[in-house]
Amino acid sequence: MGQPVPSTEGAATTLEERSPIPPPTRGRILIVEDEPGLAEVLSLHLIAAGFETATCHDGLAALYELERESPTLVLLDLHLPQVSGFRLIQLLKQRADAPRVPVMVITALSFPEAEEAVRAGADDFITKPFLPDEVVTRVERLLERVR
């Protein structure tokens, strides 16, 4: 930690706290989940693990976000409004002009349907219910595997 630097308000802060440069992240995770509460829990756990996150609550918003910036990994629910998770996987895998983005499916569907998502191009899946820390661990493993 750096040396304390007096602030104008009399409270001490460190040089690191005053720096405009954000700390490095382990990557940017796009969470595509139509349940806002679940998306928020996942985001908080991933941020705590050092990742940056972006969240979309429907498939169409996810398409716009993917055009704007390629994430390090996509956490994807299959049942989404506007554009399904299955269709998003297909569209991601067809993108020749963008870097390959690993996809981890999060689903409440049956095991055979989750396997179908993997056959469609997802790199891994996790079924609901799950522990958020389990998702973080699986994201880390998937990123290690594809790097």
Over the stretch 76-87, which tens digit does the pLDDT of each residue have? Answer: 998 899 998 989
Report the predicted TM-score, pTM, of the whole model to 2 decimal places: 0.80
Residue 44 main-chain phi, psi, to 5 deg: -60, -40
Per-domain residue ranges of the chain: 23-146
Least confident interval from 7-16, 27-36, 138-147: 7-16
Q: In 49-131, which ranges are continuous DSSP H helix?
A: 59-68, 85-94, 111-120
- CATH 3.30.750.24, applies to 23-146: no
What pLDDT does 95 receive?
Answer: 79
Res. 147: pLDDT tops 90: no
Percent of the chain past pLDDT 70, that is, above it, reads: 80
